[in-house]
A and B are shown apart, each in its own frame.
Chain A
Amino acid sequence: MYDGGKIILGIAVFLAFATFPFYSNMGRTVPKAEPKIDTPVIQQMEEKECVEPKEFMRAEHMKLLNEWRDSALRDARRVYVSSRGKRYDISLQNTCMKCHSNKSKFCDECHGYAAVKPYCWDCHFVKEEARDEH
């Protein structure tokens, strides 16, 4: 091999970058994301349901929240009629967070796991109660 030193250095740099996920996770176990829905408000509900079905919320909640934002702040429409025909007040703080008062154990659980930083909290504040609970 010609210029062996430089070639081996180059290969070492390549392998260091390419195998970064492997050695950085060596011997490390990451707890799975398990969002909790055991808040007092949810436990008192007779029928435990969100504004839309669970599957829809799991996949599309961010889209719904974005639509709610536009609807409430840009069009001043504050009533949401769900696919089941129920009416909800469009408000992150008063509707979503009323039941899901445990931001750190609900929102942050998956967002932290999947490294997503939603910009809800650039404007909204996290209620003290929600923080104190956990």
Chain B
Amino acid sequence: MGALLSLSVVIVLVLIALAGVGGADLTLLFGVVIPYLAVATFLAGVVYRVVKWARSPVPFHIPTTCGQQKSLPWIKHSRLENPSSTIGVIGRMALEVLLFRSLFRNLKTELREGPRLVYGSDKWLWLAGLVFHWSFLIVLIRHLRFFTHPVPSLVFLIDSVDGFLQIGSPHLLMTGLLLLLAVTYLFLRRVFIPQVRYISLPADYFPLFLIMAIAASGILMRYFYKVDIVKVKELTMGLASLNPTVPEGIGTIFYVHLFLICTLFAYFPFSKLMHMGGVFLSPTRNLTNNSRMERHVNPWNYPVKVHTYEEYEEEFREKMKQAGIPVEKE
């Protein structure tokens, strides 16, 4: 089963970090070398994948539409669902990227007694997906406090809004918890919906377990098994300023957290996680539906050598006349 395989891989990753830092004390490897390699892989890999996609021609405009096409002036045009202009496409893409509009239309299908096929509203995936992605983004921005000095005021603003419940000290940051809850839902959904379980592969479970482990280790580190946060920032600032130092005495759990993140970064360009870039490059979403207004010519059309009827008649006129075939020009 894919889930068990993925879970074991994540457990092995945790054990590698525990053994490497807790056992063998390889803090330089886990604190500096692997993070740099992971970030380099991430940046180069993402750029490579995007450029590779961009090299595929998309000769025709093939948007998936779900609204009225621009037509006669008295027929109401659906600008966002069937955009005919770049502005419409930008609006459509913004809704897709920021609010997952296409997922909002998600339906569930059930075969009932009869047999009767019924469709029902199913917004849970959309909701969990939205919570997951936004929480992850906010958590990521929050982590800038380890990589900048002075820390941008945006980070303080996000931190104060995120922690406005002022539960406990260090105060509870909601997005960390929401991230863990949402990723757990996304996993359980794959297990409990038979159709989804059937199509789920290790490549689907692995990122979920990895992110679950990252969120869990982060939460443990913030609230329970505390690490020396000042030394953590010395290490991260060293990484960011390309002047790495490895302070002694940061807790091992920090290196587990860091190693899992490095795995995520290095794994990113080779996986389904590339939907981060792919969503912008979906031809079915980022193209205008203007096929009736503009002619799109296939760029690799081969110049076909044609022999028109006029030329043909010119060539064979005499023979055609002799054979009694009617000709257009005498």
Q: B240 contacts A114, CB within 8 Å?
A: no
A26 touches B241 (CB 8 A): yes
Separation of A19 and B147 alpha carbons in the complex (Å): 11
Q: Which of B228-275 contact A (CB under 8 A)?
A: 228-230, 233-234, 237, 240-243
* Cβ–Cβ < 8 Å partners of B16 in chain A: none
The answer, yes or no, to whether B117 is at the interface (CB within 8 Å) is: no
Asked if B155 is at the interface of the complex by the 8 Å CB criterion, the answer is: yes
Instruction: Flag if B47 contacts A11 (CB, 8 Å).
Output: yes
Q: Mark A104-131, 1 if CB is under 8 A from B, else 0.
A: 0000001001111111000000000000
A residues 3-51 with Cβ under 8 Å of B? 3-4, 7, 10-11, 14-15, 18-22, 24-26, 28-30, 32-33
B233 touches A114 (CB 8 A): yes
Q: How far is the CA of A116 from the CA of B155 in the complex (A)?
A: 10
Question: Counting CB contacts under 8 A, is A63 at the interface?
Answer: yes
Which one, A15, A30, A110, A116, contacts B237 given CB within 8 A?
A30
Nearest A residue to B245 via CB reads A32
Q: Interface extent on B, as a size class?
A: 35 or more
Name B280's contact: one of A10, A19, A110, A113 (CB within 8 Å): A10
Q: A114 with B241: in contact, given A2-B54, A7-B51, A14-B277 (CB under 8 Å)?
A: no
Contact A2–B57 (Cβ < 8 Å): yes
- Judged by a CB distance under 8 angstroms, whether B144 is at the interface is yes
Q: Verify A21–B233 contact, CB threshold 8 A.
A: no
A122 (CB) vs chain B CBs: closest residue? B166
B284 within 8 A of A: no
Contact B241 A25 (CB under 8 A): yes
By a CB distance below 8 angstroms, the chain A residues around B228 are 58-59
Taking a contact as CB atoms under 8 Å apart, the answer to whether B145 and A115 are in contact is: yes
Q: Is A60 positioned at the interface, with any CB of B under 8 Å from its CB?
A: yes
> Residue B292 at the A interface, CB < 8 A?
no
A72 at the interface (CB under 8 A from B): no
**Contacting A110 at CB < 8 Å: which of B51, B159, B230?**
B230
